[in-house]
């Protein structure tokens, strides 16, 4: 079973590259003057349709982190990792109903701008600088690294640096055209990654079906997965008790059952989808109806993502347990769960491997382009335009934005050249979750209270950001040693290294709780600071929904409820 790409695979991939590049260039030339306007370049204001917004949201979200990392977690944890996708669908509904009206009513184009409008310049500047560092040194860097590793493995493992530069240049070509080019090329990217992902899943299931004597039947293959690996189709893990196996402890530590449903998983999702420049930027240039339609459309698409990125991992697990994929799942002689997706792609016939690589590349490039554009937007509008050159014309601001994109991608390449941050050692999914998770439960209370509680003050916001960050480090690194392994707040479990750790999503829940409590107390004390809340405009009609929106919301809620009922 060949793992590397053949001549026809490269031809298919080349065709994809030509189509995307040509379409992006056509969009760029069609309204070239728009790229000289800041609102058009950074937001494509009024030019993205609802389906383009929805597709762009998904294309920007689905990257090597999902295809490689989540498939690997499907191999180890099973369908339970789908909680990140299915609860994200509900989170998108919440964002569309409650968050987006506030942003659009107040003409918010960046997250620091919201913080400045709601609080003050200090809060906005602190978060703008922090987001720039986070987006460049964690998100952009890790996406480029994971994407390079995946494509390099498929192409024979001999061209790591060349592939990394190629992905960066491809993303750069898309990004320099502005948000309109990104938004509309993302529509094609989503089609490619969806078709390629579905084909990969279908082939994986038919291989399982043939291997176990059911013939060429994907449905029979899926049913065999359920029959053979029932533990891999359990959405909620029970808390380990005395005598629990090492695997049970590891699984619960990754996804701590009902406890994560109380706070941690929701904080991660709502912060990512509602308070993240990289994501919300796609909808900030539209009117409320169009933005909501796009966001709810993305929520519906989210329901299908586990079929593309989790099921192949489960198929790889079953085949591996049956004696297949023994060499394909190894890295340096050790079983590596992150090889699950590429090992399954090895079953695809010549030509379809190229399509699958194109799908993976589509996800990577879309994420790189979206992240680079967000970095450019925050720097250009929230730092350069406000502090470095207040009188800068649009053409100058757009020029600076493009320069920042180039510099950001160069920084990512330099960092990844020898894996300076150790992303490969930690695993990309863990790397991203760890470092973004340090700040998520600190940022989210600032936005949540800013939206819905007028008494929240700037002092409370600044205190919450720093207190939450310190508390996140305390829970992650020191709490078991200071308070013990079993308390009313948490249970710390022993790791392979012999240390004790609190499950990550439980940490987030408690950091969020104590940060929110601290902000409430400070706000109540800081009476003079409560007057700034009036800077946000109110609209009593902002929560009204159209019948189409209500129908889309019902579809999301019913499907998620049915999935959890079936696989609880």
Predicted local confidence at residue 559, as pLDDT:
96
- Residue 86 and residue 560 in contact, taking contact as beta carbons nearer than 8 Å: yes
Strand segments (E) across 158-297: none
Predicted local confidence at residue 2, as pLDDT:
41
Distance CA(123)–CA(374), nearest Å, equals: 19
Mean of the pLDDT values across residues 200-210?
91
The pTM score is 0.83
Q: Is the pLDDT of residue 429 over 70?
A: no
298's tokens:
């993305």
Distance CA(191)–CA(204), nearest Å, equals: 20
Contacts of 470 (CB under 8 A, 6+ apart): none
- Higher-pLDDT residue of 73, 277: 73
pLDDT level of residue 435 (50, 70, 90 thresholds)? confident
Q: List the one residue out of 207, 409, 396, 231 whose CA is nearest residue 315.
A: 207
Distance CA(275)–CA(450), nearest Å, equals: 12
Predicted local confidence at residue 179, as pLDDT:
56
- Residue 448 and residue 415 in contact, taking contact as beta carbons nearer than 8 Å: no
Write the burial class of residue 282 (CB in 10 Å: 0-12 exposed, 13-18 middle, 19+ buried).
buried
499 C-beta neighbours (distance < 10 Å), count:
12
Max Cα–Cα distance, the chain, nearest Å? 74
- Residue 224 and residue 318 in contact, taking contact as beta carbons nearer than 8 Å: yes
Contacts of 251 (CB under 8 A, 6+ apart): 76, 77, 80, 237
193 C-beta neighbours (distance < 10 Å), count:
28
Q: What is the DSSP letter of 216?
A: S
Strand segments (E) across 359-432: none
- Residue 127 and residue 118 in contact, taking contact as beta carbons nearer than 8 Å: no
Counted residue by residue, the chain has a size of 568
Q: List the one residue out of 95, 229, 106, 168 whose CA is nearest residue 364.
A: 168
Distance CA(210)–CA(225), nearest Å, equals: 13
Predicted local confidence at residue 43, as pLDDT:
52
Q: Is the pLDDT of residue 40 over 70?
A: no
Predicted local confidence at residue 371, as pLDDT:
80
- Higher-pLDDT residue of 356, 310: 310
211 C-beta neighbours (distance < 10 Å), count:
16
Vertex 260 angle, CA 427 and 245, to 5°: 65
Predicted local confidence at residue 301, as pLDDT:
92
Instruction: Supply the angle between the helices 311-321 and 179-211 in degrees, to the nearest 10.
Output: 30
**In CATH, what class is 7-29+36-437+538-567?**
mainly alpha
400 C-beta neighbours (distance < 10 Å), count:
19
Give the model confidence (pLDDT) of 110-137 as tens digits: 788 888 888 888 888 888 888 888 888 8
Domain ranges of the chain: 7-29+36-437+538-567
Predicted local confidence at residue 38, as pLDDT:
54
- How do strand 334-335 and strand 493-494 relate by DSSP bridges? unpaired
Give the model confidence (pLDDT) of 497-549 as tens digits: 778 888 888 999 999 999 999 999 999 998 777 665 556 776 666 778 999 99
61-70, 220-229, 375-384: which is most confident: 220-229
């Amino acid at each position: 079973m060949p793992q590397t790409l053949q001549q026809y695979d490269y031809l298919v991939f080349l065709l994809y590259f030509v189509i995307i590049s040509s379409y992006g260039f056509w969009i760029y030339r069609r309204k070239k003057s728009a790229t000289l306007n800041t609102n058009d370049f950074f937001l494509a204001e009024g030019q993205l349709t609802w389906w383009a917004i929805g597709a762009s949201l998904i294309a920007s979200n689905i990257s090597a982190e999902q295809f490689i990392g989540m498939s690997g977690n499907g191999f180890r944890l099973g369908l339970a990792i789908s909680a990140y996708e299915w609860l994200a669908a509900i989170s998108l509904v919440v964002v569309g109903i409650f968050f987006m009206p506030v942003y659009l009513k107040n003409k918010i184009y960046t997250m620091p701008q919201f913080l400045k409008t709601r609080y003050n310049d200090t809060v906005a500047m602190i978060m703008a600088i922090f987001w720039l560092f986070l987006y460049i040194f964690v998100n952009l860097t890790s996406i480029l690294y994971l994407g390079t590793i995946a494509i390099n493995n498929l192409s024979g493992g001999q061209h790591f640096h060349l592939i990394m530069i190629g992905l960066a240049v491809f993303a750069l070509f898309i990004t320099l055209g502005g948000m309109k080019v990104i938004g509309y090329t993302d529509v094609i990217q989503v089609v490619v990654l969806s078709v390629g992902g579905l084909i990969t899943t279908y082939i994986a299931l038919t291989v399982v079906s043939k291997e176990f004597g059911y013939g060429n039947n994907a449905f029979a293959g899926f049913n065999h997965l359920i029959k053979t690996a029932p533990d891999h189709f359990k959405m909620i893990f029970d808390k380990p008790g005395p005598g629990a196996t090492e695997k049970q402890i590891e699984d619960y530590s990754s996804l701590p059952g009902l406890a994560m449903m109380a706070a941690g998983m929701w904080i991660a999702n709502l912060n990512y989808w509602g308070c993240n420049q990289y994501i919300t930027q796609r909808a900030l240039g539209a009117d409320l109806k169009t933005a909501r339609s796009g966001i709810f459309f993305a929520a519906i698409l989210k329901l299908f993502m586990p079929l593309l990125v989790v099921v192949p991992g489960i198929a790889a697990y079953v085949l591996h347990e049956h004696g297949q994929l023994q060499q394909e799942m190894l890295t340096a002689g050790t079983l590596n769960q992150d090889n699950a997706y590429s090992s399954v792609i090895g079953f695809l016939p010549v030509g379809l491997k190229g399509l699958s690589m194109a799908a993976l590349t589509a996800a990577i490039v879309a994420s790189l382009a979206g992240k680079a554009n967000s970095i450019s937007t925050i720097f250009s509008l929230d730092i350069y335009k406000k502090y470095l050159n207040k009188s800068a014309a649009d053409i100058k601001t757009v020029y600076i934005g493009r320069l920042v994109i180039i510099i950001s991608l160069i920084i990512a390449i330099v960092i990844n050249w020898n894996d300076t941050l150790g992303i490969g050692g930690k695993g990309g999914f863990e790397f991203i979750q760890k470092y973004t998770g340090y700040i998520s439960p600190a940022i989210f209370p600032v936005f949540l209270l800013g939206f819905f509680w007028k008494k929240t003050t700037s002092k409370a916001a600044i205190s919450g950001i720093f207190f939450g960050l310190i508390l996140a480090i305390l829970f992650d690194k020191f709490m078991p040693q200071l308070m013990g392994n079993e308390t009313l707040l948490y249970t710390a479990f022993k790791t392979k290294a012999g240390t004790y750790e609190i499950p990550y999503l439980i940490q987030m829940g408690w950091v969020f709780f104590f940060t929110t409590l601290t902000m409430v107390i400070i706000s109540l004390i800081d009476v003079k600071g409560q007057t700034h809340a009036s800077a946000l405009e109110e609209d009593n009609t902002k929560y009204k929904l159209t019948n189409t929106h209500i129908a889309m919301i019902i579809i999301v809620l019913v499907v998620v409820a049915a999935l959890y009922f079936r696989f609880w």
